[in-house]
Amino acid sequence: MIRFFSLQFVLAGMTILLSSCSQVTAQEKNIVYPQTKTVDQVDEFHGTKVEDPYRWLEDDVRESKDVAAWVEEQNKLTFGFLKSIPQRDAIEKRMTALWNYEKISPPFKRGGRYYFSRNDGLQNQNVLWTQETLESEPRILLDPNSWSKDGTIALSGTAFSDDGRYVAYGIQDAGSDWNTWRIMEVATGKILDDELKWIKFSAAEWTPDSKGFFYARYKEPEAGAAFQSLNLNMKVYYHRVGTPQSSDVLVYERPDHPEWGFQTSVSEDGHYLILTAWVGTDDRYRIIVKDLMEPYGLPWELIDNFDHEYSFIDSDGPLLYFKTNVNAPRRRVIAIDLRKPQKEFWKEVIPQTENALESVGIVGNMFVCEYLKDARTQVRLHAMDGAFVREVEFPGIGSAGGFDGRRKDTETFYSFSSFALPPSTYKYNMITGESKLVRQAEVKFNPGDYETKQIFYTSKDGTRVPMFICHKKGLNLDGTNPALLYGYGGFNISITPSFSVSRLAWMEMGGVLAVANLRGGGEYGEPWHKAGTKLNKQNVFDDFIAAAEWLIAEKYTSPKKLAIQGGSNGGLLVGACMAQRPDLYGACLPAVGVMDMLRFHKFTAGRFWVDDYGSADNNAEEFQALLKYSPYHNLKGGIQYPATLVTTADTDDRVVPGHSFKFAAQLQASQSGNAPTLIRIETRAGHGAGKPTAKIIEEAADQWAFLVKTLNFAPSIAE
């Protein structure tokens, strides 16, 4: 339910010059790293004592002068190094030129109007537009660029009332997971006084009368704890338009289970409120149902355990449809009749196939089923009785998204893209199956100059793993090419081919892009996911290491020319792999990573990740596994580590920046070689969502410049 995918708070303060300090000097250009104090912190886990010398760097940078001063010194060093790279400004200039194209999302229809997001090229935030018909003149509905001067306040979500009168919308400040929700009258643009706060991991679900909506929220955190304290005791409320949040009606809570979270869904016919209870990142849910036609009826549990996935799709009267992995590790669609809810009466509507079922919606009275076929998008349509109708045809290797709509719609829209193919929007006729090209993004490059292919390589234990490779045509396989290997491998998240301006810039510079579909993801269903979790997590690192070895063996690159990259769980991936095989890479780019595997569950949303990682506190065997690969704990002195640019952000309240701070400090203390080990800390930015365009371009330019310098190659940079 909650998947945690993929960044410098400078505060004047005193330099840290305490008695317990370490100072490390890199040989290259005599880089002198900031002095970082250590503390005598030792924790005991199941009889094993573990040192944590940089525990103090976990403190919130907004609250701690010592941490703020450390951040300031690290950023001063890092940005000084990056600015000294001759190609850095040219890289940013070219990336800005590539980024400067009109981006328009596939439109969707709500309450008799069409909506779409648009960015004219370099706007910091996308703008939400509306129009009466597809041919009528559109107008701006919500423009987040007017909400802040630096572009760091973003639109995080929208929900339209059934009658089209209102839109509830979420506001995200500085990338935080905390959202504030407001309400606007669509016709007039008037913003109402309603303001709902302390909402995280929840959206708004309107009742059919359009008088209000359901949502879930947490209690207001204690002063100074909003960005680090654990998120507990989520409650479901009903908000009526025009009333203060203090008057919202409590719909459901479970004080006996403070760790439970809830997603709210209202069936399209407005008959039922479906509460999906979750406890972590695994797709394991309880289902609570409330009949909205009975105002005084109490919610009741349809599914009373967390054993399997039950993702609500929609209803047909008392028949509820779910995507589930019950007796189907690659998922299927079932129907549960509320009049006979016992398991023996459940009906299979769409059986499991050889491919993993990712998502299901109902448009035009057909199930729109999105599958992954070797990590490529496959969309199949089924009638309401489950009968197969047709498959949507796509123009090659890539990813499709969209297919939004309602039961009575006869059309829908989707976008298709790939590594070297900018997004194209298509209008799809649900009756005839015709796809009509509506719009193709005009990026200033020639897609025909690039080639994308999918290969399969063998991991350490013999597992066959897919990997996409994209680069300029005519590449010489002589081992001299700079290459960027990206991976994630976790939380059942599938990595598919998609367009990225920064990756295009990398390939344009002469780089090879490789994206490995590691275990731990959802590319092949639940078995693939579970093969990369908890005691099996080492499989993910083995898969990534094997991908690097394959690229080297096939002479796409060499160790000195190979960089690895990943964010969030992918940052953990990069940190673990560089600790295990520092000889295999020339440079590493771990972003917003989970680096301390013994304490991740003690901050904000970290407790949810126990589903994938396990717990050092609760299980001795899991502790040993976590300690064995935890990036922070496995950096050792006397080892020549690859050049490393750690990236994080001061307001990341998903993976708190203390992870990256501690890892960077330990890396600088451990580095025995001359490769630079730096950390870049972004200001007023979070885990990634809502980051303004200007910051995205600056960070990507810094990363590619770092690779140009440390992989030692001469990039081809277009004017």
Looking at the predicted structure, is the pLDDT value of residue 345 above 50? Answer: yes
Question: Do residues 473 and 517 lie in contact, with contact meaning Cβ atoms separated by under 8 Å?
Answer: no
At residue 704 the predicted structure's pLDDT band, cuts being 50, 70 and 90, is very high
Q: Which two tokens stand for residue 628?
A: 């064995």
Q: How far apart are alpha carbons 195 and 198 in whole angstroms?
A: 10
Q: How far apart are alpha carbons 79 and 56 in whole angstroms?
A: 24
Residue 532 buriedness (CB in 10 A; 0-12 / 13-18 / 19+): buried
At residue 226 the predicted structure's pLDDT band, cuts being 50, 70 and 90, is confident
- pLDDT at position 309, please? 98
Average pLDDT over residues 554-566: 98
What element of type H or E holds 239?
Answer: strand 235-240
Average pLDDT over residues 651-672: 94
Which range among 52-56, 82-86, 108-112, 560-564 shows the weakest confidence by mean pLDDT?
A: 108-112
- pLDDT at position 605, please? 85
- pLDDT at position 21, please? 38
Share of the chain above pLDDT 70, in %: 96
Looking at the predicted structure, is the pLDDT value of residue 10 above 70? Answer: no
Average pLDDT over residues 98-109: 96
- pLDDT at position 322, please? 98
Looking at the predicted structure, is the pLDDT value of residue 571 above 60? Answer: yes
Q: How far apart are alpha carbons 616 and 176 in whole angstroms?
A: 27
Catalytic residue among 6, 568, 630, 660: 568
Average pLDDT over residues 649-665: 91
**pLDDT tens digits, one per residue of 598-615:** 999 999 889 999 999 999
Q: How far apart are alpha carbons 268 and 200 in whole angstroms?
A: 24
77, HSE (Cβ side, Cα atoms, 13 Å)? 23
Q: How far apart are alpha carbons 335 and 385 in whole angstroms?
A: 10
**pLDDT tens digits, one per residue of 116-151:** 999 999 999 999 999 999 999 999 999 999 999 999
Q: Which amino acid is at 100?
A: N
Looking at the predicted structure, is the pLDDT value of residue 231 above 90? Answer: no
Catalytic residue among 173, 194, 652, 653: 652
CA distances from 523 to 508, 598, 601 (A): 28, 28, 26
pTM of the predicted structure, to 2 decimals: 0.91
Looking at the predicted structure, is the pLDDT value of residue 312 above 70? Answer: yes
**Which residue is associated with the tokens 């907004």?**
62
Looking at the predicted structure, is the pLDDT value of residue 209 above 90? Answer: yes
**pLDDT tens digits, one per residue of 239-268:** 999 999 999 999 999 999 999 999 999 999
- pLDDT at position 222, please? 87
- Phi and psi angles of residue 193, each rounded to the nearest 5 degrees, phi first: -75, -15
**pLDDT tens digits, one per residue of 287-310:** 999 999 998 899 999 999 999 999
Looking at the predicted structure, is the pLDDT value of residue 17 above 90? Answer: no
Q: Which of 524, 466, 530 is nearest to 331 (CA)?
A: 524
Looking at the predicted structure, is the pLDDT value of residue 200 above 60? Answer: yes
Buried b or exposed e, range 639-650, using 16+ CB within 10 angstroms:
eebbbbbbbbbb
**Which residue is associated with the tokens 């295999």?**
584
- pLDDT at position 30, please? 67
pLDDT, averaged across the chain: 93
Looking at the predicted structure, is the pLDDT value of residue 386 above 60? Answer: yes
Catalytic residue among 239, 382, 659, 687: 687
At residue 29 the predicted structure's pLDDT band, cuts being 50, 70 and 90, is low
Q: How far apart are alpha carbons 560 and 23 in whole angstroms?
A: 27
Average pLDDT over residues 27-51: 89
Q: Which residues contact 83 (CB under 8 A, 6 or more apart)?
A: none
CA distances from 82 to 501, 589, 644, 669 (A): 20, 14, 12, 21
**pLDDT tens digits, one per residue of 443-489:** 999 999 999 999 999 999 999 999 999 999 999 999 999 999 999 99
At residue 654 the predicted structure's pLDDT band, cuts being 50, 70 and 90, is confident
Looking at the predicted structure, is the pLDDT value of residue 187 above 70? Answer: yes
**pLDDT tens digits, one per residue of 606-641:** 999 999 999 999 999 999 999 999 999 999 999 999
At residue 550 the predicted structure's pLDDT band, cuts being 50, 70 and 90, is very high
Q: What residue spans define the domains of the chain?
A: 21-96+445-710, 103-266
Average pLDDT over residues 411-422: 96
Radius of gyration in angstroms for the set of CA atoms belonging to the chain, rounded to a whole number? 25
Looking at the predicted structure, is the pLDDT value of residue 565 above 70? Answer: yes
Which CATH fold topology does 103-266 show?
Methylamine Dehydrogenase; Chain H (2.130.10)
Looking at the predicted structure, is the pLDDT value of residue 14 above 50? Answer: no
Beta strands in 338-473 (DSSP E): 347-350, 356-363, 366-373, 376-383, 388-391, 399-402, 411-418, 421-429, 435-440, 450-458, 464-472
Identify whether 568 is a catalytic site residue: yes
Looking at the predicted structure, is the pLDDT value of residue 416 above 90? Answer: yes
> Can you identify the CATH homologous superfamily of domain 21-96+445-710?
Alpha/Beta hydrolase fold, catalytic domain (3.40.50.1820)
